[in-house]
Amino acid sequence: MTGSIVTVEHFIAEQEREYPEATGAFTDILLQINLAAKVISAAVNRAGLIDILGVIGSTNVHDEEVQKLDDYANDVLLNLLRRCGSLSGMVSEEEEGFVHVPESRDPGPYIIAFDPLDGSSNIDVNISVGTIFSVYRKRSDGTRVRRRDLLQPGSEQVAAGYVLYGSSTMLVFTTGRGVHGFTLDPGIGEFLLSYRNLRIPSPGKNIYSINEAYFDKWTPGQQRLVERLRQPPPDAPSFSARYVGSMVADFHRTLLRGGIFMYPGTVAKPEGKLRLLYEVAPMAMICEQAGGLATDGRRRILDIEPEGLHHRVPTFLGAPDLVEMAGRYLADD
Ligand code: AHG
Ligand code: MN
Ligand code: MN
């Protein structure tokens, strides 16, 4: 029985042995993410117990300063990743500009982008949240981090993943050789391999996931698409709707069960809400690696060149036939 237990550390070391081009520098980043995930997971689990949810600067019942959980998660990631020595720059949802690391040592060969806590409006109500990350190679030589190091299309990612703080904590990632999932065993504090080579079921569950309250703000094509999903033709399967409001949770369900996740633009805000570098591109890499499709309704997400660190894109992720169907409806707009 215990012979089948594979820890994430062991899995990463195996992958490194198998692929001679892999470097220890890259392994270091994944191991620091593994550690950060455990630290953040512990804080998320305690969130209802200790008054960590207050506003920054306020005090809890113990008269201690409290920090919002998304700022805490950001600090954990910045501090742990800064130390690994493999990075020269970091991009975070919580930081306006990029973070240069480290000031004094040689520049590391990689750049990382992350959303420290995704779905943060759900923390106060005990609903799943997540962390998303994306790793690129630094393209330019020298110590300076340049625009072209930070603004790379998703197709250049060398790794992407997320942590879901749900009924259990899971780490799901890809290094371009399939998608693998690890579940945190809280008893031993280790992520154990629970899904090797995840594939989006297709046909899977017919689930569409979208914030339907924005219906009146959508374009006619987006409205017709959702009307088609609500009322399929007589010979076509019917759909259910699920929407958590934490992209990591909604995407994780899509990965495991099938269906489509959508965060489209509106007429007034065609770019939508989700950010390309640290939310959509990493999910798109995972989605494609699992046999799915990821588009902005027209273009492949992984081909889009980011125009800024916080560039937003409309998002369609999921089973290939459903993402293709979305594209056909949006083509009329
Ligand atoms: P974040 O908490 O990192 O700002 O991201 C929240 C995002 C994403 O998780 C989710 O899919 C989306 O916001 C939900 O937005 P709506 O409330 O507009 O549906
Ligand atoms: Mn987010
Ligand atoms: Mn966030």
pLDDT digits (tens, 9 = 90+) for 124-134: 888 999 999 99
Looking at residues 92-110, what average pLDDT do you find? Answer: 85
Instruction: List, for residues 5-31, the tens digit of each pLDDT value.
Output: 999 999 998 888 877 666 777 888 999
The closest ligand to the CA of 117 turns out to be 3
pLDDT of 104 > 80? The answer is no
More confident residue, 64 or 164: 164
- Give the angle 307-310-312 at the CA atoms, nearest 5°: 75
Ranges 113-117, 138-142, 294-298: which has the least confidence = 138-142
How many CA atoms lie within 13 Å of 241's alpha carbon, on the beta-carbon side?
Answer: 13
The pLDDT assigned to 121 comes to 86
* Range with top average pLDDT, 42-56, 64-78, 100-114, 157-171: 157-171
First to last CA, the chain: 55
**Shortest-distance atom of ligand 1 to CA 122:** 2
pLDDT of 67 > 80? The answer is no
More confident residue, 124 or 55: 124
The pLDDT assigned to 326 comes to 98
Three-state DSSP at 128 gives: coil
Pocket of ligand 1 contains residue 128 by CB under 6 Å: no
Q: Separation of 118 CA from ligand 3 center, angstroms?
A: 4
Looking at residues 37-47, what average pLDDT do you find? Answer: 90
For 89, the token pair is 């720059």
Ranges 151-155, 234-238, 322-326: which has the least confidence = 234-238
Q: How confident is the model at residue 123 (pLDDT cuts 50, 70, 90)?
A: confident
pLDDT of 56 > 60? The answer is no
Rounded Cα distance between 40 and 20, Å, is 32
**Shortest-distance atom of ligand 1 to CA 250:** 11
Q: Separation of 121 CA from ligand 1 center, angstroms?
A: 8
Looking at residues 26-39, what average pLDDT do you find? Answer: 94
**Shortest-distance atom of ligand 1 to CA 117:** 3
> For a pocket test of ligand 1, which of 247, 250, 310 has the largest count of ligand atoms closer than 8 A to its C-beta?
247
Pocket of ligand 1 contains residue 254 by CB under 6 Å: no
At 326, the amino acid letter reads A
Pocket of ligand 1 contains residue 132 by CB under 6 Å: no
The whole-chain average pLDDT of the chain stands at: 91
Report the predicted TM-score, pTM, of the whole model to 2 decimal places.
0.94
The pLDDT assigned to 282 comes to 98
pLDDT of 48 > 80? The answer is no
Q: Which DSSP state fits 305?
A: P
Closest residue by CA, ligand 1 atom 11: 247
Residues with C-beta atoms within 5 A of ion ligand 3: 93, 115, 117-118
Looking at residues 173-185, what average pLDDT do you find? Answer: 96
The closest ligand to the CA of 246 turns out to be 1
For 162, the token pair is 């997320």
Q: pLDDT exceeding 70 applies to what percent of the chain?
A: 91
Q: How confident is the model at residue 241 (pLDDT cuts 50, 70, 90)?
A: very high
Report which of 264, 280, 261 is spatially closest to residue 318, judged by C-alpha positions: 261
pLDDT of 74 > 80? The answer is yes
Looking at residues 174-181, what average pLDDT do you find? Answer: 95
pLDDT of 217 > 50? The answer is yes
Beta bridge partners of 236: none
The pLDDT assigned to 272 comes to 98
The pLDDT assigned to 55 comes to 46
The pLDDT assigned to 62 comes to 55
Ranges 1-15, 152-166, 200-214, 253-267: which has the least confidence = 1-15
Any residues with CB less than 8 A from the CB of 261 and at least 6 apart, and which? 209, 210, 247, 250, 251, 254, 315, 316, 317, 318
Pocket of ligand 1 contains residue 246 by CB under 6 Å: yes
pLDDT of 76 > 80? The answer is yes
Q: Separation of 131 CA from ligand 3 center, angstroms?
A: 8
pLDDT of 136 > 50? The answer is yes
Could you give the domains of the chain?
2-195 (3.30.540.10), 207-330 (3.40.190.80)
